[in-house]
Amino acid sequence: MVTNAEDSIRVLIVDDIAETRENLRKLLQFESDVNVVGAARTGEEGIQQARDLLPDVILMDINMPDMDGITATQAIIKEVPFAQIVILSVQSDANYMRRAMQAGARDFIPKPPSGDELISTIRSVAVRAREQREKYTKPAPQAAVAGPGLRGATAFDRQGKLIAIYSSKGGVGCTTLLSNMAVGLHSDQTPTVLVDTSLQFGDVSVFLNMQIKTSIVDLAMHIEELDRELLDDVLMVHECGLRILAAPPRPELADEITAEHIRKILQSLKRTFPYVLVDTSSTMDDITLAVLDSADLLITVATPDIPAIKDARLLFDLLAVLDFPTSKVMFVLNKMDRRTGITAEAVAENLKCDVDGWIPAEERLVTTSINRGEPLLMGDTNRPPAKNILELLGMVEERISVNEQEEVDLDQLSPRRLIGR
């Protein structure tokens, strides 16, 4: 196969043993469609070179002194998502394979590889690298969204992620947490919209000190004309650039909005923004169900008191009945107070589920921030509870990226190829 250098498959080798690096190079040197662009001696060096050289395929050793290949794989997938990582290892047990797959590895070859096996694996995973490279290196249309308006902005080429927050008990802090997370997530690279589907008494706009000029009713009224121009007219812009889709200005207007409106609006926002954050009312009605239908992640919130924990249990049962995947659910405890004697561990034990994060009770700080309409994440993020909300945000981003990777794996990874070796 004769190929131009720029069309050839860019391969990076990561292995701490010089002889192995050399052997791999030799096995590949006569393949005109394969170009070994770099060889790294440590996991750290592998991450650095992957970042600089943007290879299509990475041949990764598992056992290395500074950082093992699985950890390096995890880090590289985050930075160079199109790179396809093939693990080379003498350890071919199922546990290693599973960990490698979870970390984002695409394939697994036992060491030492035969030339044929190595080359055919590289060619097969490179096809996917090409498709993914195209997807990830298109000019970022998000930046266009972040500009002064949405008109003329290029369509966002991937579906944005919808993060909903819900509690069947009111007053636990859903709006407080979500409005802060929206401010934390929004940036020029990740324009974010915060939607209030608590249609009767939604207060997202109050938490951000914004007067409702336009609201979700204006979209529902013109649902057949829903496009970027209409979004541009209706979404309000917070001083930090975050877009807000406010709840109706009066409770009686909530009746104007149907679940079908919500579905269409959320789908349209997911095509326009990388992140769509949705606040809900505590009623599990057809509006909330429409939000759940579009959600990529659901943050459920409870406070450390028996009624809230009981409601959380009922919610988990309901989500199971609805077949809502547990991988899309995060459970957060808010207003944690040591003096109550209820710990996150005790709640986890009682509900038989993980507590993904907890936020301390800081009444004075939170109340002042809400009354001023200034989210805590716009101020000092080094102290609780802003610090904890920021940490929670990190976990949310991580969960989204793990879920996304798993979806890709389910799509693309053939367990037969891995296990059949």
Ligand X SMILES: Nc1ncnc2c1ncn2[C@@H]1O[C@H](COP(=O)(O)OP(=O)(O)OP(=O)(O)O)[C@@H](O)[C@H]1O
The CB-of-398 to ligand X minimum distance in angstroms stands at 22
Contact 168, 292 (CB under 8 A): no
The interface partner of residue 363, options being ligand X, Mg ion, none and the CB cut-off 5 to 8 Å by kind, is ligand X
Structure tokens at 23: 């052997």
Partner that binds at residue 132, options ligand X, Mg ion, none, CB closer than 5 to 8 Å by kind: none
Smaller CB separation from Mg ion, 156 or 166: 166
Cis, bond preceding 112 (omega within 30 deg of 0): yes
H or E segment at 108?
strand 107-110
Smallest separation (angstroms) from Mg ion to the CB of 279:
6
Q: What is the DSSP string of 188-211?
A: SSS-EEEEE--TTT--HHHHTT--
| Footprint (CB under 5 A) of Mg ion, residues 155-184 | 174-175
Q: Which does 282 bind (CB under 5 to 8 A by kind): Mg ion, ligand X, none?
A: ligand X
Residue count, binding to Mg ion (CB under 5 A) = 2
From the list Mg ion, ligand X, none, which binds 160 (C-beta under 5 to 8 Å, kind-based)?
A: none
| Touching ligand X, residues 279-298 (CB under 6 A) | 282
DSSP structural state of residue 168: S
User: How far lies 59's CA from each of 23, 93, 107, 163, in Å?
Assistant: 12, 18, 10, 35
Q: Least CB distance from residue 164 to ligand X, whole Å? A: 13
In the region spanning residues 371 to 390, those forming contacts with ligand X, defined by CB under 6 A, are: 385
Q: Which is nearer to ligand X, 119 or 247 (CB)?
A: 247
Contact in structure between 89 and 15 (CB atoms under 8 Å): no
- By CB under 6 A, is residue 176 in contact with ligand X? yes
CB of 287 to ligand X, least distance (A): 14
Q: Shortest distance, CB of residue 300 to ligand X, whole angstroms?
A: 11
335 touches which of ligand X, Mg ion, none (CB within 5 to 8 A by kind)? ligand X
Interface with ligand X in residues 192-221 (CB under 6 A)? 198
The separation between CA 112 and the C-alpha centre of its own chain, rounded to angstroms, equals 37
Binding mask 306-325 for ligand X (x = CB under 6 A): --------------------
Number of Cβ atoms within 10 Å of the Cβ of 103: 21
- The H or E element that residue 195 is part of is strand 192-196
d(CA 236, CA 244): 5
List, in order, residues 6 or more apart from 420 with CB less than 8 Å away.
none
Q: Are 90 and 110 in contact (CB under 8 A)?
A: yes
- Please enumerate in sequence order all residues whose Cβ is within 8 A of that of 225, keeping only pairs 6 or more positions apart, or say none: none
Considering the complex, what minimum distance in angstroms separates the CB of residue 234 from ligand X?
22
Is-contact 258 217, C-beta < 8 A?
no
Interactions with ligand X, residue window 23-82 (CB under 6 A): none
Could you say whether residue 303 binds Mg ion (CB under 5 A)? no
Of positions 74, 84, 89, 175, contacts ligand X by CB under 6 A: 175
Q: Which residues bind Mg ion (CB under 5 A)?
A: 174-175
Q: Which residues bind ligand X (CB under 6 A)?
A: 167, 170-176, 198, 282, 334-335, 359, 361-363, 366-367, 370, 385
